[in-house]
Amino acid sequence: MSIVVATTSPGFGRHGRLPGLLEETGWEIIRCVDNTLPDGGLSRHIDRADFLVAGLIPVTAATVSAAPKLRAVLKHGVGIDSVDVAACTARGLPVTNTPAANSNAVAELAVGLMFSLARNIPHGHMSVVSGGWDRRPGVEVSGKVLGIVGLGNIGKLLARKAIGLGMTVVASDLYPDRAFMAEHGIELLDLDALLARSDYVSLHVFGGTGNAALISADRLALMKPTACLLNLARGEVVDNDALAASIAGGRLRGAAINAFVTEPPDISHPLFKLQNVVFTPHSGADSLEAFENMGRMVIDDIKDFVAGKRPSRVLNPEVLDR
């Protein structure tokens, strides 16, 4: 019997050794990645799928109710806020993700965005390619304070890199790894204190209603006017209306945005008119190494499910105990 795998993740199985590994499995891969459709085309094929490899397109109760053959939902990534785990659990569907597989890729992008803001790299590029020669002095990150909001796998890797650059690192985390923080000289602060102290603030928390507008107008007002905000979390974590007003009013130096509430975003928003904001298309995990790591983990988990084994990365293991 052929196994049908539907995926809404554009990068799943496309890089490194993964195309060959997928070909060896004999699975039918259905790629639901049509950007002109709200669900990438998933609704057209979900009724045939044995497994769903989920990207950023939401997996809802309606999705799983339309999938009579579905055996599991596998997130091609770490954050599962786009997956209705409760609905999957009610249907008896295990949900997996790929913890730490893309952590280094996201941490490296955070460093790159920080340098882009510090040294005005996007503006310099546009100046040269348009025939200009506008040399704007930037700042050095060495000696500056980096505030990391969410000191998980990504936050820890970013902290190590920042310390290597000569930065002081402070962090805010609901469940701090105190041993790690002590080892690396990282001070634990509440969020408001972190915002007030930091020269750069990098967000690495989960999305969802609990963190909606976590960085609000009131909290942006706590930041230094010379500070920059980096959102590598989820779009809803930052009030972008307030962010645009803060930057336009000179109350914040700049920002880098990698995630948006609606993707692609509405570029008529005032944020996109500002020169000192850098945008990337939710590409934190988009390195060849990360794609191979994530894909390998997903393939291994599907193989385990097919063989009747229990994958180690199931997030709702109670469905396997029924």
Q: Verify whether residue 76 is a known catalytic residue.
A: no
Residue 54, SS3? strand
- Report H helices in the chain: 18-25, 61-65, 85-90, 103-118, 121-129, 153-164, 178-184, 191-197, 217-220, 240-248, 288-306
Alpha carbons 285 and 232: distance in angstroms, whole number = 10
The answer on 302 and 162 residing in a single domain is: no
- Is 306 strand, coil or helix? helix
282 given a catalytic annotation: yes
- Whether 122 and 255 map to the same domain: the answer is yes
Choosing from 23, 28, 140, 263, the catalytic residue is 263
Q: What is the CATH number of the domain that holds 75?
A: 3.40.50.720
Structural domains counted in the chain: 2
**The predicted structure's pLDDT at residue 139:** 98
**Residue 208, pLDDT score:** 82
**Partners of 201 in beta bridges:** 147, 229
Q: What is the mean pLDDT of each run of 10 residues along the chain (322 residues)?
A: 92 94 96 93 97 96 97 95 96 97 97 98 97 97 98 97 98 97 98 98 91 96 98 97 98 98 95 97 95 97 96 95 82
Phi, psi of 49 (to 5 degrees): -80, 135
- Indicate which residue of 219, 234, 253, 313 is catalytic: 234
**Model-level pTM?**
0.90
Domain holding 120, by residue range, is 103-279
In this prediction, residue 1 carries a pLDDT of 61
Residues 59 and 181 in one domain: no
Task: Pull the structure tokens for residue 290.
Answer: 């990360």
Question: Does one domain contain both 92 and 123?
Answer: no
Active site residue 14: no
Catalytic residue among 76, 197, 253, 282: 282
The pLDDT of residue 83: 96
pLDDT score for 152: 95
Q: Kindly give the interhelix angle for 121-129 and 103-118, rounded to the nearest 10 degrees.
A: 70
Q: Give dist(CA 71, CA 55) in Å, integer.
A: 17
DSSP 297: H
